[in-house]
Each structure stands twice: as C-alpha cells, then as structure tokens.
A and B are shown apart, each in its own frame.
Chain A
Amino acid sequence: MTKEMTAAGLHPAASMYAEELKAGKLSRREFLSRTTALGVSAVAAYGLMGMSAPARAQDAKIGGVIRCAMEVKGTKDPRLADWPQISNIYRGWLEYLIQYNADGTFEGRLLESWEANADATQYTLKVRQGVTWNNGEPFTADDVVRNFARWTDGNVEGNAMASRFPGLVDEATKTIREGAVVKVDDTTVQLNLSASDVAVVPNLADYPAAVVHSSFVDGEDPATNPIGTGPYVPQEVSVGQKAVLVRAPNHTWWGGTAPLDEIHYIDFGTDPSTMVSLAGSDEIDCNYETVGDFIEQLDALGWKKLEVVTAATIVVRMNSASSELYKDKAVRQAIQLAVDPKVVLELGYSNLGTTAENHHACPVHPEYAALPPQVIDPSKLKPALEAAGMADAELEVISLDDGWEAATTAAVVAQLKDAGANVKHTVMPGSTFWNDWQKYPFSSTTWNHRPLAVQNMSLAYTSTGSWNETGMANADFDAAMVKALSLAEADARREQMVTLQTILQDEGYIIQPYWRSLFAHVKEGFNVERHPSNEHQHYKWSVA
C-alpha cells in the first residue's frame, strides 16, 4: 500500500465504529465500508480492526497475459459512458479520484485522502503526490478542478456525471458554479456544495468519473490519444472484436508495477452458452459475467467461481396511486407477509443470492441498520382481504415475460395463491413492459446496485422521488430522508436509516425478497476479482 496511517487524519466517527466492531454490533465489511467512506484509508481501517490490510498485487508474480471474454463496445468520452464494459477498457490508462472496492470500501487513488465537514456541504480533497501522466507531466490539483468542470457541464448531451453533483452546479448556466470547486494549494482542492450531499464519494468512484488529461478533446474517443495516469495503454480497440491493453511505455506508474503484461478483451457476442464452449476450448481465461444455468456448467468444467453479493435486487411492489386495491395499509402488509423470501430466492433465482428484508437496504450498504426479523404468516392474508372487502378481488401481478424476473414474480404469485388470494400473473415483453413500469398496480421492477442505501431509497420511496413506483407518500419518511441525505457521517445516517427502513417495511408496499449475487468464472491459475459494479481493476489481476 502506498498510503500511510496518520492519526491526525482520522475521522472522529472512525474510532466509534471500531468500538462498535469490537462490541460485535458491526460486521467487518460494514466497518470497512463506513470508515473508508469517511475518508479513513483502507490500511488505517484495517489497523483499527487490529488487522493488517490484505496482501496485494505487489506479492503477485509479474508478467503474463489474461484473456477475458467481454463485449468490446467503442470507447467514448468517459462522462458519456453508459456501460461498465466501456469503462473497463479505458480503465487501463484512465484512473479515478476514488475507487469503490469489491469489499465495499472506498479507496483514494488519485486522491491521497478526503474529508467531509459535519453536514456534508464541504469536502476537502488531498491530491496524491508523485502521480504522473504517461506523457511525463505531473498530476496536479489543476487536473482535479478541470475534471470537475467537465463532469458538471449539463449542456453536454448525455453527460452521465452532470446530475451527480447538484450542489456544485449553477442552475442558470448548467455549468460549474463560481467558487464551487476551489484549488486551495497545489495539493488541495475544496468542494463547496450548496446543499448537503452524501453521494459525492460514491459518485466520484462511479465508472463515468474517469480523470482525463488536459489535452483530451471533449467528446472524442479516449483511445485515440491515450494519455492517462494508469499503468496500461490501449494497443488495439476494435469494436465488436477485440481490445488489447499493454504496459504504457516509458511510464512509471505511481502504484508500482502492475502484475500483468497484457490484458486482452475478446468479444464473443452476448450468447451465454458461448461462454461454456469457449471455456471448454481454452479460448479465454476469464469472463465478464456468468448467468443462470451456465454457472453450474462452468463449475463442472473445473473453473473457479467468483461470487459477489450486491445490492442489485428485484422489487415486487404495489402502487396505491394507480389502484384502489392497495390503498389499505393492512392489506399491503398482509400481502407482504404472505411471501416467504427464502422460497422466492430458491424458485425465482436458484438460490444465487441472499434473502432480503423488504426494506431495500442491503448489509453491503455502509449505513445499513439491522432490524428485528419479520414474521412471515400466509394464514393472515385471507382474513385481511376479507376484512377489507376484497375476498373476491382479482389481484393482477405484471412482470417481464422471461428470465429470472418472470420466475421470481411467478414464485410470489404462487405463494399469494396458496395463501388464498385470487391472483393472476400477466407477462409482457420488454418492449412494452418498460413503457409504463411506474404505473402498474402490482408489478416487479429490477434495481441496480448502488453503493449507498439512501441513493435508491430517495429515488424510489420519497413522495417526490423521480422513480417512485409505489405511490408511497409518507411525510415522516420524507423528513427522515432529508436528514439522512445531509449526514456524511454514516453513523448518524444509520440512526435515520432505522426510521427509514422501519417505515418502508411497515408501509408494506414492497416485497423485496432477495439480493442478487453476481458471478464470473476464471480458470485455475489466474487471479481476477469479481466486482459488484462490474469494474475491472486490472492492477489487482495476475497470473499465478
């Protein structure tokens, strides 16, 4: 590790977490996630746990090539990138200020450290020293300021970063606000936000937030003039075919020596069955993702299974805004508690995940609060429906027509039927399903992994949330969310999370049965890592 532990730099909450960890109130993963989000380095965090950080790339053998099956999409201006696959190629030479690690921690890469003030309106970023671009120029605070200006430019069509930093943007010009990002000195940059924002750190770690050089022409393909700080450069990017990353010539990477000599991405199309025949014929060493039945088939070929639990999930939810049937809270609660998440996970997703608790906060989220377990009781559904005068009402559950989404919804429907409800399952093709996904009375929706629980919850369950699909409008929930979103300290936020999770569970709108695990496979003798956001952090890869 290149980072040093400095007692002075530790956030006051960090030692508090350490106490909680010792008392057994926190898991190691939660502890790491929370403390590092506060700006405590991973080494320091492990130190607080009384452990040393896990052995890293330095111990790995230098040299070797890994061939990975992944769709090779054309590289484009990082802030426009709309697929993780795109970023995995430019990750070779473009790096990030902050990195989201597979264990849930945040780690400074081009930043040495960062600090937030008490209400998350001001962030102080310390720029890492000794980083150079592969053309020899040093990486400085000016580069950081310039990239923030790029990210916040809302006039660029499709800029994925523009909406991430509302507190830095001048609403009139849709560009960076005067004085929002200030270079304090050569190594320090200060962010002055107009409102509290806890998502700054995860947003800086997301895949469109790659840091580009001053010579980068906005909107151009970064592979044409690959100036970056990372250890590799692209030798070839042939869309739909192949991308090859090789060591950057005459460049001393600040992180030392990345183990691999080359990384080859080969595009074999999107048919998952191809993966099996490729693995069988030794065309690849690892793949981007393994899905469904193919997980077992690749296991059977003797490949190593890589699994990561994520906060990606499916929500089977009722909507009180578009249907009279679900206005009664008692009915919703009875429906929610008639469905056993364990059964749904098994039938709908072949046990390829972990059960959830109907409140859309996952243990991998730093601010997750453990609630007392719910009591599943299908026998209460029928009386509840009768009490509401809905004994004969037909409940229609809508889902996609195929895949695990359909299977999961079918498992929910079957349990409701067993509990005595008059329920029907309607399937729709993807082309029509997504047109009205927010308005269906009762339907299933897939949700992606986001590093913080409040990110999904504020989008989906506040009364003004842009992706609110339940019609839930709970003033207490909204108020608690406003508070939670102003607390950079994950600990204080967790107190609000208890309220948020309890209300969401109690409102009974959602049946959120499980968290999906993501899988990939790798051949014996190769070390790669499965990341919850599908990131390929190449410097961690090696050949044994």
Chain B
Amino acid sequence: MLMFVVRRLGLMILTALALTFIVFFLTNLRPNLEKLARTEGSVRMSEEAVDQWIIQNGHGGSVFVRYGEWMGLMPGWVLTDEKGTVRGRCITATNTPETAPRYCGVLQGDWGFSTFFKKPVLDSLGEKLAATGWLMLAVMLVMVPASLLIGVLSGMREGSRTDRALSTFSIASTATPEYVSGVILVALLASPVVGLSPLLASWGWIEGKTLFLGTATSAIDDITFWNFTLPVMTIALYGIGYIARMTRASMTEVMTAQYIRTARLKGVSFGAVVVKHALRNALIAPFTVIMLQFPWLLNGVVIVETLFNYKGFGWTLVQAAGNNDINLLLGCSVVAVFVVLVTQLISDVGYVFLNPRIRLS
C-alpha cells in the first residue's frame, strides 16, 4: 500500500515536470512573449521597444535556462537597464540587488509574480482555489445525492416506467454541454427581458426583476441561493445524468445477481434487498466515477466560471492563458496535476475498502 502511494506521488512529480515544461515552452514562444510585452508595456510599443522589453524583463536567452530559473535550479536573471537601475527575477520591492537571493524558484517556495493579477502567484492561486472549492462543494452536494438516487431508483427495476422516465432525463441532461445548458438557464431564469422572470415579476411572485442572478460575481464575497444556483445547476446537471447512468448500469447488474435472487426467495422484502444487499455493491463503480468527477470539474469550471463571471480557478486559467501570464499558467498546471492525481489516489485507495476482492500493490 505504502509503495503504491509512493509510486503514485513519484508519477505525480514526473507528470508535473513534463506538463510545466510544455506549458513553459508554449508560453515562451516568440509571439506569446510579444503579446505579453504589449499588454504589460503598452499596445503602442514599436517592434524595437518590444524586443527590448522582452530582454529587459528576463525573457531573453535559452528557454531551458529560464525554466531552470523558474524551478529554482538556476540563479535568477539580473540586468541593468539604460538608467542604471538593477532589476532581476529575485529583486522585489522588499529587497535590494545586494540582499536578493541568488535562486528564487519553486524549489525555494517562490512561485513567481503574476503579471495579470500584479501579485505573487501563490497568493492569487490560493484565493481562487478557495472560491472554486466552494463551487465544487456545492456542486457535489447537489450532484452526488441526486444522481445516486436517480440511478438507484431507475436501476432497481429495469425497464419499468420510472426507469424509462429517469433514464430519459439523465440522457438528456448529460447530452447537453455546459455552455448550452448555462445559456438556456440564464435565458430562462435570469433575464429581466425574456424567459420566466418577467412573467413571474408581472404576477408579483418575485420581488426583484429576475428569479435568479445571471452572474455569480457577487458570490465571491457572499454566497447566496440567488447568485449561486445557476452556476451550480449548470455543472451539476451534466454530472447528474452521467453518474446516474453509471449507477443505473451497476444497479441493474447487481439486481440480476444470484445472491439478490436468493435473498428475495428467502422472503426479504424488496426494500430491504435494495438497501441492505444491493446498494453497497452497486456503489463501487459510481464511487470511481464520482472521484473522476473532480478533475473533470476542474475543466467544467473553466466554462461555467467564465460564463457566470465567477472569479475562481477556471476563470483564472482563462485570464492567465488570454494574457500569457507565464508564472500563473505554470501555477495552474501544477495545481491541475495535483488535483487529478490526488483524487485518483483517493479513488484507488477507497476502492480497496469498498471491494475486498481488490488489493493494491
């Protein structure tokens, strides 16, 4: 077991290295650096000024050396500009060229400075991850119970009317991508001009002009039912259908097993069979799927956070990519690798507990 965890952690570090290098290489392509120079300097800069900016801000030279600087394996760049000011990777507002450390990279705990947010990457990533954490938590709280309930209900009597109805719902919801369901939900429930809200408002059923809020920007400061429902529903709807289908498949398989028939023949009531005998076995497959939802949620939030303007991790990723914020993108990549592999680790370990027949290592 321990060996398994250690091997997984090793794999995680290797993946993180490979991914960050790819991201680093792509963000350091010449056109991307020029774009960075223009957003950071000024859009009106001439070609020569852009060249000079790139060199003056430590983006010149070999990409491997600069990756090493980011890692903290190479000494950070130090340059003296035409006015005689010494600038460098490790020289910040709080230290001087003399007192600045030679190395300042991830290994030294310095994740660099985000050019977009104008503050250290670690600070900005922390608060954004917390925001996305709340969103994911809300999604999980809605999605897991709802999907398991639907899956179990439709799977316990295969082919029944309940099964058909619930299956139709779950197939429809999982077949609708977030960028479609999000737009439909906003138009239907959160627009003061179209959809249900003007109707409800004219009947006097709702106080404001809309039933729900079409943006979740204010949820960063204060999460309410009003501003958080739509983004949560948009992500959850897609997942509900998917997990419900998995649970249903697993449930129908269990329900045809010999021991279920034996229990029924023994005279155990149908309810007791489902809850006591079938459920635990039927939940093994959905458990893995649910754990797989975490990395997928990290992708899902990119669309939903952008759509609803919720300033979390997904939105940060879009802004970092859109502004070619090298340090921030690298930070995001490490976080993504970490989340994917840690949830997979939990899912593998958890599997052992749910299914005694599986052994790790």
Which A residues are CB-close (under 8 A) to B190? 277, 281
Stretch at the interface among A6-14, A151-159, A370-378, A389-397: A151-159
**A280 at the binding interface (Cβ < 8 Å):** yes
CB-contacts of B53-97 with A (<8 A): 53, 56, 82, 93
Residue of B nearest to A157 (CB): B49
Q: Is the CB of A157 within 8 A of B52?
A: yes
Q: Is the CB of A158 within 8 A of B217?
A: no
Given contacts A240-B117, A269-B309, contact A281 B45 (CB under 8 A): no
Size category of the binding interface on chain B:
35 or more
Q: Is the CB of B82 within 8 A of A155?
A: yes
Q: What's the dominant secondary structure at chain B's contact region?
A: loop
Q: Which of B45, B118, B210, B311 contacts A74 (CB 8 A)?
A: B118
Stretch at the interface among B21-29, B36-44, B269-277: B36-44
Residue of B nearest to A75 (CB): B118
Q: Which of A221, A274, A278, A281 contacts B118 (CB 8 A)?
A: A221
Nearest 6 A-B pairs (CB), nearest first? Answer: A280-B192, A158-B42, A277-B214, A157-B49, A158-B41, A280-B209
**B228 at the binding interface (Cβ < 8 Å):** no
Q: Is the CB of B117 within 8 A of A274?
A: no
Given contacts A158-B49, A276-B191, A281-B210, contact A239 B218 (CB under 8 A): no
27 residue pairs of the A-B complex, CB under 8 angstroms, read: A74-B117, A81-B42, A82-B42, A157-B41, A157-B42, A157-B49, A157-B53, A157-B56, A158-B49, A221-B118, A238-B117, A240-B319, A241-B311, A267-B217, A267-B309, A268-B217, A268-B309, A276-B191, A276-B192, A277-B192, A279-B192, A280-B208, A280-B209, A281-B209, A283-B213, A283-B215, A301-B193
Q: Which of A74, A276, A283 contacts B218 (CB 8 A)?
A: A283
Nearest Cβ in chain A — how far from B34, in angstroms?
12
A residues contacting the other copy or chain, number (CB 8 A): 31
Complexed CA–CA distance, A233 and B157 (Å) = 66
Q: What's the dominant secondary structure at chain A's contact region?
A: loop
Which B residues are CB-close (under 8 A) to A279? 192
Which A residues are CB-close (under 8 A) to B210? 277, 280-281
Q: Is the CB of B118 within 8 A of A239?
A: yes
Residue of B nearest to A220 (CB): B93
Which A residues are CB-close (under 8 A) to B50? 157
Q: Is the CB of B213 within 8 A of A281?
A: yes
The interface bits of chain A over 160-180 (1 if a CB of B lies within 8 angstroms of the residue's CB, else 0) are: 100000000000000000000
Which B residues are CB-close (under 8 A) to A297? 193
The interface bits of chain B over 170-193 (1 if a CB of A lies within 8 angstroms of the residue's CB, else 0) are: 000000000000000010001111
**A500 at the binding interface (Cβ < 8 Å):** no
Q: Is the CB of A280 within 8 A of B117?
A: no
Given contacts A158-B49, A240-B116, A301-B192, contact A274 B41 (CB under 8 A): no
Specify which of B186, B191, B215, B306 lies most central, judged by the most chain A CB atoms within 10 Å of its CB: B215
Which B residues are CB-close (under 8 A) to A280? 191-193, 197, 208-210
CB-contacts of B206-245 with A (<8 A): 208-210, 213-215, 217-218, 220
Specify which of B43, B117, B209, B217 lies most central, judged by the most chain A CB atoms within 10 Å of its CB: B217
CB-contacts of B246-285 with A (<8 A): none
Which B residues are CB-close (under 8 A) to A238? 117
Residue of A nearest to B220 (CB): A241
Complexed CA–CA distance, A274 and B183 (Å) = 12
Nearest Cβ in chain A — how far from B60, in angstroms?
14
Specify which of A155, A239, A282, A301 lies most central, judged by the most chain B CB atoms within 10 Å of its CB: A239
Q: Is the CB of A300 within 8 A of B193?
A: yes
Q: Is the CB of B311 within 8 A of A240?
A: yes
**A120 at the binding interface (Cβ < 8 Å):** no
The interface bits of chain B over 306-331 (1 if a CB of A lies within 8 angstroms of the residue's CB, else 0) are: 10010100010001000000000000
Q: Which of A224, A274, A282 contacts B215 (CB 8 A)?
A: A274
Q: List 18 other contacts, CB 8 Å, given A276-B193, A278-B215, A280-B210.
A: A82-B43, A157-B41, A157-B45, A157-B49, A158-B44, A158-B49, A239-B117, A241-B220, A241-B311, A267-B217, A277-B210, A277-B214, A280-B208, A280-B209, A281-B209, A281-B213, A283-B218, A297-B193
Q: Is the CB of A160 within 8 A of B44?
A: yes
Complexed CA–CA distance, A416 and B323 (Å) = 42
Complexed CA–CA distance, A281 and B189 (Å) = 12
Nearest Cβ in chain B — how far from A477, in angstroms?
27
Which A residues are CB-close (under 8 A) to B218? 283
Complexed CA–CA distance, A490 and B197 (Å) = 55
Nearest Cβ in chain A — how far from B180, in angstroms?
16
Residue of A nearest to B186 (CB): A277
Residue of A nearest to B226 (CB): A281
**A80 at the binding interface (Cβ < 8 Å):** yes
